[in-house]
Structures are given as C-alpha cells and as structure tokens.
Amino acid sequence: MFRTSTSALISLRISSRRLATHVSQSAPTTALGTRHDWSKKEIQDIYDSPLLDLIFRAAAVHRQYHDPKKIQLCTLMNIKTGGCSEDCSYCSQSSRYSTSTKASRLVEIEPVLEAARKAKANGSTRFCMGAAWRDLAGRKRGFEKILTMVSEVRGMGMEVCTTLGMLSPDQARQLKEAGLTAYNHNLDTSREFYPTVITTRSYDERLDTISAVRDAGISVCSGGILGLGESDADRVGLIYEVSSMPEHPESFPVNALVPIPGTPLENNEPIQYHTLLRTIATARVVLPSTIIRLAAGRQTLDEAKQAMCFMAGANAVFTGEQMLTTPCSPWDEDKTMMARWGLAGMRSFEQTNVARKEGSRLTASSEPVAESLSVSSAETQSAL
C-alpha cells in the first residue's frame, strides 16, 4: 500500500511538472489574455524575484504565447543620417554633439530597395528604415519618397517598419495606406527619469505619436534603452508605461546603451548582463504576447548569454551589416548560432497581432510572405 501511494505521488508530481513547463503547441494563443492593470509594485516584485526563478517563470509564459523555437530576424537601415535637432543624450545623430556621425540627405529609393532585397535573401523578414528627424514638418517630398519605399518593400512580402520621429494622425494614416506594418517610437526609459535624458521632446509627445500610430491600425514597436544611468525603478517604470497602453506594443525593443564618443553619455558604464536579463524576463511576464527584441548592444554578448536571453523570452533580433550608428551581428553568424541552439526564423506576419492588423491586405496580397532562412545542423557542422 505504501509503495502504491508513493508511486502515485511521484507520478502526480511528474505530471504537474509537465503541466508547468510543457504547453501544447496546438493551444490557441488567441484565447490567452493580457493584463493592462499591472501596478508598479507588482512589476517591481516580479523584477526583484530570484533571477533563476524569474527566468523559469518567463520561459513558461513565453511557451504559452509563442513558439519558443522561433526568432524574428529584422534588418535596420539608416535612410537619413545625422543633423537631428533633438538633444537625446545617447545619440550620435544629434546636431548638438560633436561625433563621427555626419549629416546626410535622405537616401534615394533604389539603394533602399536593394538593401531590402539583400536582407530578404539572407533570411530577414522585417525591414526597418530609420531617419534622424524630430518630425516630418516641411518634409513633404521626403515623406512621399518614404511612402514609395514602404510600398515597394511591402510588395516583396516583407514586414516594413519605420522610425521617423513624431507623427501626426494623418501622416500615420498615409503610412498605413502605403503598407507600413509597424512604427518604432521608443519611450526610452521611465517617465520620471526621461527629462534627464531628453529635453527637446516630452514624454507625452512620444505617447501622442504612439496613439496616432495605433489609431491608424499600425503595429506599435516601443521599448527602451538600458545603461542611461537609470535605476531598477526606472526600468520597472518603462515596462509599467507600455503595459498600461490600450494595446500592448506589438514589439518591445530592449537596447543596451552603446556609449558613443562625443555624446553626453560617452563615459557611461556598460549595463550589467544580469540587469539586461532581468529586464527581458520581467517584460516577458508582463507583456506576454509582445515580441521582445534584443536590439542594440547584442554584439557584445557571447552565444551563451544570448541563448539565456532567448530562454528568458526574447524572440527577435536585428541582424545584418549595421544598425543606425552602431555595430550589428552579421546574418551568417546569426543563422549559424541559431542552428546550434535549435532555433529558426519567423515568417513574415507570423505573429497573430501583426497578421490581424494586416487584415484583408494580407489575404489579398499576391506576393508570398517572406520565409526566414535557416541553417541545418549538417550545414552548421560543415561551417565550423
């Protein structure tokens, strides 16, 4: 009798562990909800929990809402460099600082399309374009050129993202009509710490642009930068702000500051790895359906550290030749790393919320969605 009871108890414990760590791949993620009423204390308690417990919790949430084997591969191109009137203290593109970044005019359409074609051929399924502007005021011809870029890249079957500074509702509408998938507009940090980093644009102005983007039916990409001199409470405050939005952002980029000579933050210490990991894991728990993008600074992490970030809930990266003004991990290196860890790239429009906002445009499109390339284990071994 004792042996039978013990065996049953062990069986029950094993079954419970399976329930906690293995989610049926057929479970519909659309049935899972998201909370918009997190308190700062709740988020702080999650952030402060023992790190391995936090990663385990985040990994379980990640498997409920996402395929843990899939990573979104994104490529970013700077289509208009430098000369920005803003005073973002981390940015080499500000005209207020003496840096190695030189101002340039908006790139012509064809080089952008060629870069997008190259990104697609290398497995990227989202192409992002950034212009160093405060806003689009007085840039009618430049904006028209960007609308053409968006339309042409979308015609390749890729997701398209831009970051162009502040937008009006009408500008957001025009971008949506051109085929824009997502718009990046980072909050950077908490509301409280923000004025020590930027003074030329208010926090509420950023939120206004995000509202205009969301109201236009464009997916919101909004995250922050770690290593600005902020506290743990500020990192919690950033996550709190995006968790309180009417819709959680489609993606949440987590950037580690790359200090650039000539900027006010040139001497900042690199963010500690455990802080990066803790921020990713907390964001995954609080923003369960959001894609969490391991962005600037990733090239400083070795493979094991990146793998732990993926375990904690990160499921997107920038890959290619360059970010806006900082280094990026190259495609071949990333695909080989992913193959070693059993990871594969997402298809375009694979995320449920992105596909929903595409609506009839996606179903009516004659262009096939971009398939992210992967490297087989055999190819990986031959490459080593």
Report pTM: 0.85
The answer, yes or no, to whether residue 100 has pLDDT greater than 80, is no
Separation between Cα atoms, residue 140 and residue 266, nearest integer Å = 35
pLDDT, tens digit, 9 for 90 and up, residues 168-209: 999 999 999 999 999 999 999 999 999 999 999 999 999 999
Q: What average pLDDT does this structure show over 356-367?
A: 70
pLDDT confidence of residue 382: 34
Q: Which of 154, 206, 214, 221 is catalytic?
A: 221
Q: Which of 57, 126, 128, 139 is catalytic?
A: 128
The answer, yes or no, to whether residue 89 has pLDDT greater than 90, is no
pLDDT confidence of residue 113: 97
**Would you call 256 helix, strand, or coil by DSSP?**
strand
Confidence bin at 18 (pLDDT 50/70/90) = very low
Residue 309 marked in a binding site: no
Kindly tell me the burial class for residue 188, based on how many C-beta atoms sit within 10 Å of its own C-beta (0-12, 13-18, 19 or more): buried
Residue 309 is among the residues annotated as catalytic for this protein: no
**Would you call 356 helix, strand, or coil by DSSP?**
helix
Residue 161 is among the residues annotated as catalytic for this protein: yes
pLDDT, tens digit, 9 for 90 and up, residues 232-252: 999 999 999 999 999 999 999
pLDDT confidence of residue 118: 94
Residue 74 marked in a binding site: no
What number of other Cβ atoms are within 10 A of residue 321's Cβ? 16
Q: Which of 74, 88, 309, 328 is catalytic?
A: 88
Residue 84 marked in a binding site: yes
Q: What average pLDDT does this structure show over 281-291?
A: 98
Q: Which of 206, 293, 309, 328 is catalytic?
A: 293
Q: Which of 84, 126, 284, 328 is catalytic?
A: 84
What six digits make up the tokens of 333?
């290196």
pLDDT, tens digit, 9 for 90 and up, residues 298-309: 989 999 999 999
Q: Which of 74, 161, 309, 328 is catalytic?
A: 161
Average pLDDT of the chain to the nearest whole number = 86
Residue 293 marked in a binding site: yes
Report the sign of the C-alpha dihedral through residues 189, 191, 195, 196, in that order: negative
Residue 84 is among the residues annotated as catalytic for this protein: yes
Confidence bin at 357 (pLDDT 50/70/90) = confident
pLDDT confidence of residue 22: 31
According to DSSP, the β-strands at 219-221 and 224-226 are unpaired
Count, in order, helices (H) and strands (E) of the chain.
Answer: 14, 10
Separation between Cα atoms, residue 86 and residue 106, nearest integer Å = 18
Portion of the chain with pLDDT greater than 70, in percent: 84
pLDDT confidence of residue 93: 79
Q: Which of 57, 74, 91, 309 is catalytic?
A: 91
pLDDT confidence of residue 214: 97
Separation between Cα atoms, residue 259 and residue 196, nearest integer Å = 16
Confidence bin at 11 (pLDDT 50/70/90) = very low
Which CATH superfamily groups domain 40-357? Answer: Aldolase class I (3.20.20.70)
pLDDT, tens digit, 9 for 90 and up, residues 39-82: 999 999 999 999 999 999 999 999 999 999 999 999 999 998 77
List b or e across 134-153, with b for residues whose CB sees 16 or more CB atoms inside 10 angstroms. ebbeebeebbebbbebbebb
Residue 293 is among the residues annotated as catalytic for this protein: yes
Q: What angle do CA 326, 312, 246 make, to 5 degrees?
A: 80
Separation between Cα atoms, residue 199 and residue 349, nearest integer Å = 36
pLDDT, tens digit, 9 for 90 and up, residues 23-36: 333 333 445 789 99
Q: Where are the domains of the chain?
A: 40-357
H/E segment holding residue 128: strand 126-131
Residue 74 is among the residues annotated as catalytic for this protein: no
Separation between Cα atoms, residue 14 and residue 8, nearest integer Å = 10
pLDDT confidence of residue 364: 59
Residue type at 268 in one-letter notation:
N
Residue 328 marked in a binding site: no
